[in-house]
Structure formats: structure tokens, C-alpha cells
Amino acid sequence: MAKATKNRFKNTQHKKSLQLTMLALPAMVAIFVFSYIPMAGIFIAFKNVNYEQGIFRSPWVGFDNFNFFFTSSDAWTVVRNTLGYNIVFIAVGTLLSIIFALLLNEIMSRKVLKAYQTMFFFPYFFSWIIVAYMAYSFVGPYGIVSGWLEDLGVNFDFYTETWIWPFLLIFINIWKGLGYTSIIFYAGILGISQEYFEAAAIDGANQFQMIRKITIPLLMPLITIMTLLSIGKIFYSDFGLFFFVPREIGQLYPVTQVIDTYVYRMLRQSGDIGMSSAVGLFQSLMGFAVVLFSNYLVKRVNEENKLF
Amino acid sequence: MALRAKLPKILIHLVLILFGILCIIPLISIISVSLSDETTILKNGYSLLPQGLNLHAYAYVLYKPVQLLNALKVSLLVSVFGTVVSLLVSAGISYVLSREDYKYKNKLSFYVFFTMLFNGGLVPTYMLISKYLHLKNTLWVLILPYLAIPWFILILRTFMQKIPHSIIESCMIDGASELRIFFRIILPLAKPGLATVGLFTLLQYWNDWWLSLLYIEKESLVPLQFMLYRMINNIEFLTRSTNMMPPGMNNVVVPAETARMAMAILAAGPMLAVFPFFQKYFVSGLTVGAIKG
Amino acid sequence: MRRGTRLTKTGILAAILILTISLMLGACGNKDKDKDKDKENAGSSPASSANSGPSGSASAAGDLPEVTLTWYFPGNFPQPEQDKVFAEVNKIVKQKLNATIDFKPIAFGDYDQKMKVVIASGEPYDLAFTSNWINNYSQNVAKGAFLPLDDLLAQYAPKSYAAVPANFWDATRVNGKIYGYINYQISARTPEVSTAKSLADKYGFDINSIGGKLSADTMNLLEPYIAAVKKDHPEKAFITSLSQISEMFTFESISGINIPGAVFFNDDTLKVVNQFETDEFKKFAAVMRDWNAKGYMNTKERISKKQDDWADAKAGKWMINIGGAYKPGGDVLATSLGGETYVSAPASTPHLTTNGIIATMHAISRTSKNPERAMMLLELLNTDKELFNLLNFGIKDDHFKLNDEGFMVAGPNQQAYNPQVPWMFASNFLAYVQEGMPKTVWEDTIKLNEAAAPSNLLGFSFDAEPVKAEIGKTSAVFDEYYRGIELGITTEEKYNEFLKKLKNAGADKMIAEMQKQIDAWKATKK
């Protein structure tokens, strides 16, 4: 009798698992097809592709494709740009988001809060193409800022001056994402139990002390996760930002070319899929290594905050 | 004393208002340009306020908007259908991942989130889709690749983890199947999370140009954003598609600069209109937890 | 610790998974190969059946299995009513060849990049436009992207093969094989200089006075006119594009202007040089720099566009344009593109070069499942005047009309279909003569081809296979810099950086390879 129940229990357990697996199946298939199968294609990076023979029969060339990339003068530029921009994005972006989340947390009126959130979220709603139009309307040949400069007697052509673009791109990227990330942190702050603050208030702590001693420490896991996720993507860039906003102007490549746009242009301009795959693989591997390493570091400092 | 207490508050508002303005000014500027007079614009350049207020650009863009309407149709179809399916698919797996008692939870979560950290890259993906799946120039290629996005699954799963397990248990005791629990109990309870992720998914589909940049060359399948992209370089994509000036505007300069901005407004507009409906769920829906929760 | 092991387990699982997929993919690939074999076998059978009755193509349609042919081509697309016209074309093609064309018209600006990806990914298609200036012929041949056409030409396109002189076909040969089907047209090429007639009249500029005289050294012939117009019309600019003016220089580029490697016309020793390092090209870059400094280029507006197009001409932003190929009746084409009357002249003395001949061709893809049918389609397009003109000008009495004298004139609905690329679809000589052109325009063109001085290199085609990687890299470098050079914003320092990058990308190796092949070719000629 007891055994039968146990069996039945086991059976239902089994059935439950199966049903749950079924629920997850569509997503599993989608991920398998669009993420895992392409991983199998990384072998292209080691081939000298010839269309006559097809990709599978083309000769293996070992690390030639990688060599080609690393000996070119572009390698340094694109890696530097990618990492440089991302480090600034992560540092400045995270800092500002936390500050804005804290500021938003000080707003008591729900209506006002909603108004701010709505405004901050506007940029997030525009595609990069529309952002490119907006940028053009400020710094383009008829642009508003160009016009102001002209009124001041300065003839400044944004699309030929390289030095201005790092500033523009950093500004635009943070402008677009700040609303979104600050709300993630804001939601995190809301998740902190009020009891802590009440207790602190009784002890006579002021606003700043509460932020330093309660909010920030309790927000730390979220900050770490967000940062780790960004670091995992440190070898990737927002393609739209670097592709559309500087309008594919060759003159600006030294400061706007990142790995993603480079791979894309490699594919489209020289049709070299071996090398294009090689750079893609390098990017993926480096990203993976960096995130494993930083996760390891985080784990050593505080087991709780790790990503996995 | 009163002022000292208030000063930081004022400062906070000042900072927030300034940034808020910064967020909407670009929108205002393209609206202004789209409402301006073309010849004045060409002479004076753009400005924050419309110059010589008129609707020529819109009249021009919307006169015989065959191409535009078609692009709008494609965008709408892909966004709405894609969002509904993607949300169901993601909610399914998110729920499973949120279940502590699911046998393969850890393996499955590795399977999903590993793809956030490592991928095959552009070339293999392109070859798979174009050569082996033959999805090029189909509506499917605009929908399928975004069905299960790990980041959205992560957000949804974190949200679902907050649903008390006791609710699920009591349903199981009542003998409800997992499917039933999912559809009847979990989905309604996860509404804020679903609304948030739903909006992001909708945005993802609506704002996407990447898939069409790579996989679409058929005019009838060009979505709005891609049309807009092609107009960055070449206003002719617009002028050719309509190619004619509306009657009564024959003596006006072709409003190329202003029409472009009018197009941008038309492409951005629908999403801005949708936003308020989702907003009330936003903060509660946007919580992110560790991958291994 | 436990977690560690679990991760490795999953890792192993993932590795196995990936391995399995690779194997599966490999299997698929092999299957494809098998299919290819089948295709080859199948390829021979219709060939033999067609052999039995090559006479009337119309009757042959009945026996032919139904196929779809995918055709990629560039032009001023999309056109509003292109689908309507293509449907009409397909009606005829269906009836005559039992085939349906899957038209893939791509805008000029996108075509090159689109084809790179299509070819690289091995997608199946049948026909594509190829040339020395867009979708580069020799580079694609080197990568094995195209099928050799010798047999197909003899079997399925005898008429159009015979219509083109034999030395033209020789110019397309790479390692002895023809890979490109020539769209017969003007081949003695030099760029066309054109300007609006109203402007020329107003400022007393006689375009014929500079005709044939332009080179990097004599660009200043244009300057008085440009300066005068500029004063009254600051919105108008001098327009040119490097990829379109290669024939204006006194050298002939070997694998397209964007690839280092050129031989001077007057150099009998056929020494290959890097054209970007020649004094002539540097001079040209310097003139552009100077003109930009003088404000002739309207750089600020144009830099944010990849290329200049005739829409700007219609908007009154062009003053003088050097580009395209000078040909009889060219001013009529410019007029319809520019929206007002244009006058034109040849930029320099035309030479008959390999580049001129391979400037307009079609190729059949290695991935084509029906190469013989694709060739039949080429034959049809190049022999059926009505079909060609349908494609070219649209539907008769709607998009175009023929007047009493037989000249082509605009129809009531011309705006809806007017791609203006006759030389792209097929032999230009089949086109209805447009009103305003001399009646004998095509005969004149052929005469011009015959009269032109053949270059020393005529008949040599470069086999790019040994240096294809270098070619990819140098063309990427060119892509980064060319716009700046043609707009005159590239400083001398920047220009030297360009040269240095070309060197890094393997320019010298390519030039050595070119020299080697040319020397070998020269030896066989003697």
C-alpha cells in the first residue's frame, strides 16, 4: 500500500517533470536553433573558404585567419575602441543609473515620479535609426548645433572631425539607456524592506548615512549582477550606435569602428567569411573568458553576489 | 531652517527636470523639422521650433503611401504576432526555471544563460538562416530569431520566483495539471512581469532593423525601420515609392529633409502611444536576480 | 566544489551537443554535395535534349521542365511599378522558356555589399550582374563563385555569342575560360562630363571646348566655370566619384580602381604600379583638396552620404558631374536622369580596354541549379527586342511610347517605371532609340568601339585567386578612404596613412602577382 503510494507519487513526479519540460520546450528549441547550431559553425574560422568546394570541403588553414586579423593595423583600433567605449559605458552608466535611482527614490509624489520615469524612458523607445536621425538633426549639415556654432562664427563639420565622436557616442549611449537602467536599480531599492530604514531613522541616521549603510550594501548584489552582465558583453557593442549614428563615414572609422561593425563590414565589403568568423570567434571567446574571470573574482570577495 | 531642508529637494528636482528635458528635446527637434517649410530649412538650417509651420512633409509622405503602408503592415504584423508568441514561449520556460522543484532546473538554466555569454557569431548564423533554413525573404525571419531572448527570460523568471510556492502547491493538491496551473494561476499572477517584458519584446520587434538588414531584400517585406534606414542615405527610397507630389503642391520644392523627419515621427509614434498602457506595471515588473537564483 | 563538477558536466554535455550538431551539419553538407552531383548529371541530360532541337526556342518551351531563376541586379531600384513590369516580363519568359524569374533588383549603393554576402554564404541563385566596378568580376572568379560559360554559350546562346566580337570575349577570359556574359554596349570608355544646359549657356561655358582634354593635370580647365557658377549658386557642387572615373586617368587599372595595380597606357613594358602612389593620382587628390578648400564640393552636406545620386541633381545641387561612360546619346540619358536638359562631352580619349569590355556583364552562379536555363534566359534577353525593352522602359503606351518616327518617348506614367539602366539588363543595342538621340546611335557606338585605340593589355584578365585575401583587405581600406579623397577632405597626412594601410594590407604582394601574370601573358603573345 505504502509502496503503491510511493510509486504513484514517483509517477506523478515524473509526469510533473515531463509537463514542465513540455512548457519549456518551445523556448528550448528556439534557443537550440538560433544560438546553439550557429556555435557549430565556428569551424569556419579555421578554413580558407572557396565557393567552388563549399565551406565543408574548403581547406583547413589553422590560425591563418586569426593571424591575418592580428597582424593588420585594424586589430588594435577595433579592440581598443570596443573595450574603451564599453569601460566608459559601464563605469559612467552604472554610476549615473544608481545616482538617478537614488534621486528618484527621494520623490514622494507618485504623479511626479511617473512624469520623470516617462520622460527618462523616451530615449529607450527610439530605435537606433531614429536616434541617428535625431543626432543628424543636431550635428548634421543643417543641424541645430552646427547652426549655433555657425552663429558663433565657428565652421565645425562634425562628420569629418574625429575627436568629437567619442564624446558624442558616450553621451548618446548613456542618454538612451539611463532611463532603463535607473529604473532597474530603482526597482531594486523598492525591494529593500522598509524596516531597515525605520530602524535606522530611530537611531537618528540621516539620509546620506542610510544610503551609504543600507541602500548601497543591499543593492550590491544587483549592481554586481548588472555589472557582470555588462562585463560579459565587454567585447560586444551596440551595433546600431556605432553603425548608424556616425553614418558609415570612413573618415570616422578610427574612432567609431568596433568589433561588431568590423565583422559586419568584413563580411559585406570583402566577403571574407573565414576572417569575419575568426574575429567573431575571438570576440566570443574573449567575452566568455572575461566573464568567467570576473565571476571568479566576485565569488572570492562575496559568494552571495556571484552570477553563477 | 525650512529652506535648508528643502534645498536638496529642489536640487534633486532640478537635476531630474534637466535630464528629463534632455530626453525629450531631440523628439521635439525632429517634430519641429517635420513641420517646417523645406526651403526655409535649407536656408536657415534646423531649429528647435518649427519654421514656417506647414504640413507639406506629411502631405507628401502620406500621399499615395503604398510603400509606407506596406512597411507599416509588415512592422505591425511582425510586432504583434511576434510579441504574443514570444511572450508565451518565454513565460513557459521562465516559469519552469522559477520552479525550485524542477528536476533539471540547473541544467536548463545553464542551457539558456550560456547563450548570453557565448555565441557562434554573425557568419554562421547568417549561413544557417539563409542557406539551411531558407528563411531569407520571409516574414518568419523577422520573428523567429527573437522568440526566446535570455535577458527577457531572466527578468520574467526573477519575477515568477516571487510568486509564493504555496499557491502552486495548493493547486497541485487539488490535482491541477502543470499546464493548467501555468495558464490559470501563474500567467495572471505574473501580469506586471509579462507587461514589462511584453513591452520590451514589442519594442525589440518594432525597432528591429538588424534582421531586415541581413535577410530582407523583397520590397513587400521591408519593415518601417529598414525603410527608414535606407532613407538615411537615400531619400529616393521615399521619393521613388511615391514619386509624385500631391495635387496643389506642384510648385513646392520636394520636401526631402522635412519628409525624412516626418517618416521618423511616423515610425516612432506608435510605440510612444503604447507606453502609458504598460507603465503602471513597470517598476514592479523590472526586477533582476542572479542567474542561479 | 559540487558546483564545480556540475558545471563541468554541463560543459561536457554542451560540448557533445555542439559536436553532434557539427556532425549533423556536416551530413547536411554532404547531402548537398550529392545533390550537386545529381545536378551535374541532370545538367547533361537537358543539354542533350536541347541539342536535338536548338532551332525555335518557342517550341522548346513545351519540353522544358518548369524552373525558377533567381536574378540579382543593381540599378535605380525600387521603382514604384516594378512588380507590374516584372510580372509582364515573366509572362513572356514563362511562355518562351517555361521559366519564372525571381527578380532581385537592388539599389546601386547596396548591390556590391549584398552580393558579397550572398556569394559568401553560398545561397543558391542563378544570375547576377558583374563588372569591374561593382560585384567585382575577377575577384568573384578567383573565389570560384561563377561557372565557366564556354560550353553553355556555344550550346544555348549561339546568336548573342556571335553578335559580340571575339576579342571582346577574350577579354573576359580568366585562365582561358569565359566566366562573364557580355552585355554588349559602349566599351571604348572614358567618363562623361555633363552639366545643365541652362547653366552652361548662362555662364558661356562650351563643354566641347574641354571635351577629351581632362586629366589630373588639366582639371583646372573646369575651374573658371565652377568658380563663376559657385558665386551665384552656392548650393551647387562639383560631383565625381572615384569608382566612375578610373578611365579618365592615363593608366588602366587591372582589377578595378579600388584595388592597387595599374599599367600606364603608354607603357609598352607593361610595368604594374600602385595607382594610388602615382603622381597623377596624387595630383588628382590634391586638386580635390584644393577645390574643397575653395568650397566647390559642399562637403559638409555630402560627407554624410555614401554616394551622390541624381536625386540631388534634380534638387539643383549638381553643377558639373564627371562619371559614367561617355557615349553617343549620353546627354539624352543625363537629361532624363537630371530632370532638365544636359549637355555632355567625353572627359578624355577613350581606349578600348579589358575594363571597358567587362564593365557590364552577367555571370551564372556556381550555386545555380539550372545553369543551362539561365543561359537560355540570357540569350532570350539579348535577342528579343520587345522583351528587353519591356524590362528597360516598362509597359508600352503606359510607361513609354513609340512616336511616329519610331523614337522612344515618355509615356503618361513614366515616373512609375524608369530605371534608366539599359546596359545592365542586356545588350544596349536592342534598346529603342530615345527621342533626341541620333537614329544611328547604336551604329555610331559600335563604330566608336572599333575606332578606339586598343590598350596594350587588351585580352589580359587577372586571375585574382592567389591574392584574394589581400584583395579583400585592400578593398576594405579603399572603402574607408575613398569618399574622403573624392570629396577632398583627405589631408596629405591622411593620404599617406591610406598608402601605408594599403601596403600593410598586402598591396605589394598583389602588384608582384599582377606583374608575374602579365609577364607570362606577354610571353605567350609574342
Report the mean per-residue pLDDT for chain C. 84
Domains of chain A: 74-305 (1.10.3720.10)
Statement: residue C278 has pLDDT above 90? yes
| Spatial CA neighbour of C276 closest among C253, C309, C299 | C253
Name the more confident of B284 and C80: C80
Q: Is C196 helix (H, G, I), strand (E, B) or coil?
A: strand
* pLDDT at site B253: 61
* pLDDT at site C44: 39
Segment C352-365 shows an average pLDDT of 92
* pLDDT at site C57: 44
Same fold, C56-185+354-452 and C191-349+460-525: yes
Cis link prior to C78 (omega < 30° from 0)?
Answer: yes
**Residue A44 at interface with chain C, using a CB cutoff of 8 Å:** no
Minimal C-alpha gap between A244 and chain C (Å): 11
Residue-wise pLDDT for C311-335, tens only, equals 788 778 899 999 888 988 888 888 8
For C103, list phi and psi in degrees, rounded to 5: -75, 130
Q: Across the interface, do B127 and C121 touch by the CB < 8 Å criterion?
A: yes
Which residue type is seen at A269?
A: Q
Torsion of CA C500, C504, C508, C513, to 10 degrees: -150
List, in sequence order, the alpha helices (H) in A106-163. Answer: 110-125, 128-139, 144-151
| Spatial CA neighbour of C122 closest among C256, C28, C45, C258 | C28
Residue-wise pLDDT for C184-209, tens only, equals 998 888 899 999 999 999 999 999 99
Judging contacts by C-beta atoms under 8 Å, the chain A residues touching residue C114 are 268
Q: Across the interface, do A249 and C483 touch by the CB < 8 Å criterion?
A: yes
* pLDDT at site B73: 93
Q: Across the interface, do B219 and C83 touch by the CB < 8 Å criterion?
A: yes
The CA distance from A267 to A263, in Å, is 6
Judging contacts by C-beta atoms under 8 Å, the chain C residues touching residue A50 are 143-144
**Do the domain assignments include residue B170?**
yes
Query: Which chain A residue shows the shortest CA-CA distance from B178?
Result: A19
Q: pLDDT band at residue C108, thresholds of 50, 70 and 90? A: confident
Statement: residue C121 has pLDDT above 60? yes
Torsion of CA C81, C85, C86, C91, to 10 degrees: 150
Segment C257-266 shows an average pLDDT of 90
Minimal C-alpha gap between C424 and chain A (Å): 22
**Do the domain assignments include residue B47?**
no
The CA distance from B290 to A226, in Å, is 9
Q: Across the interface, do A275 and C469 touch by the CB < 8 Å criterion?
A: yes
Segment C38-62 shows an average pLDDT of 42
The CA distance from C344 to C205, in Å, is 12
CATH no. of C56-185+354-452: 3.40.190.10
**Do the domain assignments include residue B196?**
yes
Domain boundaries, chain C: 56-185+354-452, 191-349+460-525
Torsion of CA C513, C519, C525, C526, to 10 degrees: -170
| Spatial CA neighbour of C246 closest among C218, C280, C208, C279 | C280
Q: Across the interface, do A118 and B179 touch by the CB < 8 Å criterion?
A: no
Which residues, other chains included, contact C79 with Cβ-Cβ below 8 Å and sequence gap of 6+?
Answer: B240, C85, C105, C416, C417, C418, C419
Statement: residue C55 has pLDDT above 60? no
**Residue A132 at interface with chain C, using a CB cutoff of 8 Å:** no
Segment C395-419 shows an average pLDDT of 88
Which residue type is seen at B107?
A: K
Interface of A with B in 187-216 (CB under 8 A): 187-188, 190-191, 207
Minimal C-alpha gap between B259 and chain C (Å): 14
B122: containing domain: 62-293
Residues C34, C40, C43: CA angle, nearest 5 degrees = 140
The CA distance from C441 to C432, in Å, is 10
Among A261, A268, A279, A291, which would you mutate to test the C interface (most chain C Cβ atoms within 10 Å of its Cβ)? Answer: A268
**Residue A154 at interface with chain C, using a CB cutoff of 8 Å:** no
**Do the domain assignments include residue B176?**
yes
**Residue B43 at interface with chain C, using a CB cutoff of 8 Å:** no
Do C390 and C155 contact (CB within 8 A), yes or no? Answer: no
Statement: residue C50 has pLDDT above 70? no
Neighbours of chain B (3+ CB pairs under 8 A): A, C
Judging contacts by C-beta atoms under 8 Å, the chain C residues touching residue A140 are 304
* pLDDT at site C40: 40
* pLDDT at site C151: 95
Do B113 and B220 contact (CB within 8 A), yes or no? Answer: no
Q: What is the DSSP string of C123-170?
A: ----EEEEBSSSSBHHHHHHTT-B---HHHHHHH-HHHHHHS-HHHHH
Residue-wise pLDDT for A142-185, tens only, equals 889 988 898 898 888 888 889 999 999 999 999 999 988 998 89
CATH topology of domain C191-349+460-525: D-Maltodextrin-Binding Protein; domain 2 (3.40.190)
Statement: residue A44 has pLDDT above 50? yes
The CA distance from C419 to C26, in Å, is 43
Segment C388-404 shows an average pLDDT of 92
Do A282 and A74 contact (CB within 8 A), yes or no? Answer: no
For C131, list phi and psi in degrees, rounded to 5: -170, -175
Residue-wise pLDDT for A263-284, tens only, equals 888 887 777 788 888 998 999 8
Residue-wise pLDDT for B120-158, tens only, equals 888 889 889 988 898 999 999 999 999 999 989 988 888
Sheet of C361-364, strands arranged across: C99-107, C67-75, C127-130, C361-364, C181-182
The CA distance from A303 to A300, in Å, is 6
Minimal C-alpha gap between A299 and chain B (Å): 13
- The CATH number assigned to the domain holding B200 equals 1.10.3720.10
* pLDDT at site A265: 85
Judging contacts by C-beta atoms under 8 Å, the chain A residues touching residue C117 are 267-268, 271
The 10 Å Cβ neighbour count of residue C449 is 21
Q: pLDDT band at residue C491, thresholds of 50, 70 and 90? A: very high
Q: Across the interface, do A107 and B89 touch by the CB < 8 Å criterion?
A: no
Give, for all 293 residues of chain B, the pLDDT tens digit.
455 566 688 889 999 999 999 999 999 999 998 998 888 887 888 888 888 888 888 887 787 677 788 889 999 999 999 999 999 999 999 999 988 888 888 889 889 888 887 888 888 898 899 888 989 999 999 999 999 999 899 888 888 888 888 888 888 888 888 888 888 888 988 888 888 889 889 999 999 999 998 899 888 899 999 988 887 766 655 555 444 555 555 555 667 788 888 888 988 888 888 877 777 776 666 665 544 43
| Spatial CA neighbour of B195 closest among B278, B289, B136, B291 | B278
Interface of B with A in 111-130 (CB under 8 A): 111-113, 115-128
* pLDDT at site C46: 40
- The per-residue b/e assignment along A186-202, b for 16 or more CB within 10 angstroms, e otherwise, is bbbbeeeeeeeeeeeee
- The per-residue b/e assignment along C266-288, b for 16 or more CB within 10 angstroms, e otherwise, is ebeebebbbbbebebbbebbbbb
Which residues, other chains included, contact C513 with Cβ-Cβ below 8 Å and sequence gap of 6+?
Answer: C466, C467
Among A23, A95, A207, A288, which would you mutate to test the B interface (most chain B Cβ atoms within 10 Å of its Cβ)? Answer: A23
Q: Across the interface, do B236 and C309 touch by the CB < 8 Å criterion?
A: yes
* pLDDT at site B121: 84
Statement: residue A15 has pLDDT above 50? yes
Distances (CA, A) of C417 to C80, C87, C414: 6, 13, 6
**Residue B244 at interface with chain A, using a CB cutoff of 8 Å:** no
* pLDDT at site B243: 47
Angle between helices B256-279 and B224-233 (to 10 degrees): 150
* pLDDT at site A84: 96
The CA distance from B60 to B288, in Å, is 46
Q: Which of A52, A251, A271 sits opposite C116 (nearest CB)?
A: A271
Q: Is B281 helix (H, G, I), strand (E, B) or coil?
A: coil
Minimal C-alpha gap between A42 and chain C (Å): 9
Do A308 and C509 contact (CB within 8 A), yes or no? Answer: no
The 10 Å Cβ neighbour count of residue C72 is 25
Query: Which chain C residue shows the shortest CA-CA distance from A42?
Result: C22
Give the 3-state secondary structure percentages of chain C, helix then strand then coil, rounded to 5. 55, 15, 30
The CA distance from B56 to B69, in Å, is 18
State percent of chain C over pLDDT 70. 88
Judging contacts by C-beta atoms under 8 Å, the chain C residues touching residue B230 are 107, 110
Overall number of domains in chain B:
1
Statement: residue C27 has pLDDT above 70? no
The CA distance from A171 to A145, in Å, is 15
Do B191 and B185 contact (CB within 8 A), yes or no? Answer: no
Q: Which DSSP category does C365 fall into?
A: B
Q: Which of C145, C306, C484 sits opposite A51 (nearest CB)?
A: C145
* pLDDT at site B96: 92
* pLDDT at site A64: 85
The CA distance from C310 to C300, in Å, is 18
Q: Which of C114, C366, C504 sits opposite A51 (nearest CB)?
A: C366
Judging contacts by C-beta atoms under 8 Å, the chain A residues touching residue C299 are 157, 160
Q: Across the interface, do C469 and A54 touch by the CB < 8 Å criterion?
A: no
The CA distance from B134 to C40, in Å, is 22
Q: Which of A21-25, A201-205, C24-28 has the lowest mean pLDDT?
A: C24-28
* pLDDT at site A8: 61
| Spatial CA neighbour of B263 closest among B227, B223, B217 | B227
The interface predicted TM-score (ipTM) is: 0.85
Name the more confident of C120 and C285: C285
Q: pLDDT band at residue C468, thresholds of 50, 70 and 90? A: confident
